[in-house]
Amino acid sequence: MSFEILIPVVIIYLGIIGFLGIKGYKGTKNSSDYLLGGRNINPFVMALSYGATFISTSAIVGFGGIASQFGLSLLWLPALNILFGIFIAFIFYGKRTRAMGLHLESHTFPEFLGKRVNSKFVQVFTGVIIFLSMPLYTAAVLIGGAKILEGLLNVPFEYSVAFFSILVAIYVIMGGIKGVMYTDALQGVLMFLGMLFLLVATYVKLGGISSSHQQLAELSQSEIFPQGLKALGSNGWTASPELGSPLWWIIFSSLVFGVGIGVLAQPQLCVRYMTVRSNKELNRAVIIGGIFILITVATPYIVGALSNVYFYNEQGLSAVQATAAINGKANVDEVIPLFISTAMPKWFGYAFMLVIISAAMSTLSSQFHAIGTAISRDVYSAISKRSHDKYGVLISRIGVIISILITVILSFNMGSGIIARATAIFFGIMASGFLAPYTAALFWKRLTRVGMIAGMISGIAVVCFGFLFLHSKEAAVFGICRAITGENSLFGTSVGQFIDPLVFALPVSTLSTIIFSLMTQVENKNTVDECFALVKKQKRLIKKSNQKTLNKIKFKFFSKKGKKL
């Protein structure tokens, strides 16, 4: 495909995106439409929007590059993504969030937590944490998209960042959550098809599934396998590292556990539960979401690891070494772009560019929308006590613009190989501060305002302390621990320096939530009782509806009057 063909394709794609943004704009009449799409989003759209928001250039470019370094052990992550991010999230967390959120008339994740315990502080505190920390994740996604454009089309990094930022800003500011979710659904379809082709094409290129994995196993014993990884406990690219080794903690505490569990407390994902009309839509979304995550998450990890086989066959180098040979410096974030540009057909490089644009835009739009609503509804409206319908949409749009500017600044100043790490940090912060209180809000009537606040503050405090003084990867960047103790970590050179702070912060947050709740009284008992009664009522309605559907099926099969299927 030539540029003469590529340019019209891109124009058509952007035209469709613009149309969907305008459609969202026309359907946005009030704050409920802007924040939750009127709670009437189609389950297919919701599932694809959820998946497209979850799977970003961070997963494709960042984690795909990490897989080229660490190997197939990262496939534990999509397993947890499907278990926690789809099944548990939709069936257990989603249904209760939707029912309680409707009763509490909450429109955002911070507002839901705040109204659950009748606390403005909880809502404002959560909104501030989201506004301050989420730009780190948005910057990682933005860098991933820019790296692909730079690698495939030789577009300068600065121009690529500007392209994504301006494009996403237009339809998020205009269309609210409707514009975001409509475009997400389209982008999700493109992502699914593109990643499916990439997976099949990679196996074909390397001689099949069995042959390619056998070659990868043999390369693990060759001279190109990094000796530094062996010293950290690696058993090769096709096996999990030694249990309890530094590399085991790096992979499983930060990447697998942090991102796999942290998805349950992502504000831009939790709000999706409140956009559908009933729990039936959440049930229907499970299968769609599960298949989507399986293909779009597992593919970059498999391709990233197998890229070592390709580059060895072509250049006698590992994937990371190949990036150094071209750019003069090894960078895991450039492995996937380099593999696509050299191993795949040229036409697919152009097509994959649309996949990456879709992945970046779908996630960025949801992130910017979450940041904008956090600063407007959860901070401004909560503090000023002014109607969100009157001022909130305008403040949301201003918040989106501010968040974009912060994201662009971070994108230009973050170092190489940062995409996967920045993603894990953000997921860790969200899980440390909000997962325990959020879970208690859904499943425990005894949760109190003091308990929720204690869980949030203790979790955030411990994870921040961990990044500054315990986890050597981040502590070395901040330099505070070295200035005080002369070491990058309080753990010194022991294996503790590789343990993600979430491992310490989540138990502390959980215990604080429980202990302080047991020590205090529930302030809004009537509201809590109503919320849990509504959940039970919906369970009975669903059970009754399911039984009615089953009876109809039985009638068609066994009744003399019914026609056999």
| Angstrom distance (rounded) from CA 405 to CA 411 | 10
Claim to verify: residue 337 and residue 451 sit in the same structural domain: no
DSSP sequence for 344-393:
S-HHHHHHHHHHHHHHHHHHHHHHHHHHHHHHIIIIIIHHH---IIIIIH
Of 406, 432, 458, the residue that ends a domain is: 432
Of 397, 432, 467, the residue that ends a domain is: 432
Q: Could you give the 3-state DSSP secondary structure of residue 564? A: coil
Claim to verify: residue 480 and residue 515 sit in the same structural domain: yes
Query: Which residues lie below 8 Å from residue 172, measured CB to CB, with a gap of 6+?
Result: 179, 180, 365, 368, 369, 372, 400
CATH of the domain at 99: 1.20.1730.10
In one letter, which amino acid is 236?
G
Q: How far is CA 29 from CA 17, 22, 50, 103, 310, in A?
A: 20, 13, 23, 22, 53
Q: Is residue 404 part of a domain?
A: yes
Q: Is residue 536 part of a domain?
A: no
Claim to verify: residue 421 and residue 458 sit in the same structural domain: no
Asked if residue 48 lies in contact with residue 362, where contact means CB atoms within 8 angstroms, the answer is no
Q: Is residue 416 part of a domain?
A: yes
Claim to verify: residue 328 and residue 453 sit in the same structural domain: no
Phi, psi of 108 (to 5 degrees): -135, 165
pLDDT at 563: 40
Instruction: Spell out the per-residue pLDDT of the chain, length 565, in tens.
Output: 455 555 676 677 667 666 666 665 555 554 444 444 444 555 556 555 666 566 666 677 778 888 999 999 988 988 888 888 788 888 888 888 888 888 888 878 898 999 999 999 999 999 999 988 888 888 877 777 777 677 666 777 777 777 777 766 665 555 455 556 666 677 777 788 888 999 999 999 999 999 999 999 999 888 889 888 888 999 999 999 999 899 999 999 888 888 888 888 888 777 777 666 666 666 767 777 788 888 888 898 999 999 999 999 999 999 989 988 887 787 888 888 889 888 888 777 777 777 777 777 767 777 777 787 787 777 877 777 665 555 666 777 777 778 778 888 888 877 666 676 777 788 889 999 999 999 999 999 999 999 999 999 999 999 999 999 999 888 888 889 999 998 889 998 889 999 999 999 999 999 999 999 999 999 888 888 888 888 877 666 555 544 454 454 344 434 444 443 3
Claim to verify: residue 229 and residue 83 sit in the same structural domain: yes
| Angstrom distance (rounded) from CA 252 to CA 256 | 5
DSSP sequence for 235-286:
--TTSPPPTTSHHHHIIIIIIIIIHHHHGGG-HHHHGGGGGSSSHHHHHHHH
pLDDT at 169: 67
| Angstrom distance (rounded) from CA 130 to CA 134 | 5
pLDDT at 38: 45
Of 401, 432, 463, the residue that ends a domain is: 432
Claim to verify: residue 159 and residue 258 sit in the same structural domain: yes
Q: Which structural domain range is residue 233 located in?
A: 3-432
The end-to-end CA distance of the chain, in Å, is: 48
Q: Is residue 497 part of a domain?
A: yes
Claim to verify: residue 291 and residue 230 sit in the same structural domain: yes
Q: Is residue 353 part of a domain?
A: yes
Q: Is residue 149 part of a domain?
A: yes
DSSP sequence for 310-324:
HHHHHHSS-HHHHHH
Distance of CA 228 to the CA centre of its chain: 30
Claim to verify: residue 379 and residue 462 sit in the same structural domain: no
DSSP sequence for 76-122:
HHHHHIIIIIIIIIIIIIIHHHHHHHHHHT--SHHHHHHHHTT-HHH
| Angstrom distance (rounded) from CA 198 to CA 210 | 17
In one letter, which amino acid is 197?
F
Claim to verify: residue 336 and residue 476 sit in the same structural domain: no
Q: Is residue 471 part of a domain?
A: yes
pLDDT at 525: 87
Residue 307, CB-side half-sphere exposure with 13 Å CA sphere: 34
Claim to verify: residue 414 and residue 487 sit in the same structural domain: no
In one letter, which amino acid is 400?
V
pLDDT at 410: 81
Q: Is residue 403 part of a domain?
A: yes
- For the chain, how many structural domains are there in total? 2
pLDDT at 437: 95
Claim to verify: residue 418 and residue 482 sit in the same structural domain: no
Claim to verify: residue 72 and residue 49 sit in the same structural domain: yes
Asked if residue 80 lies in contact with residue 256, where contact means CB atoms within 8 angstroms, the answer is yes
pTM beyond 0.75, yes or no: yes
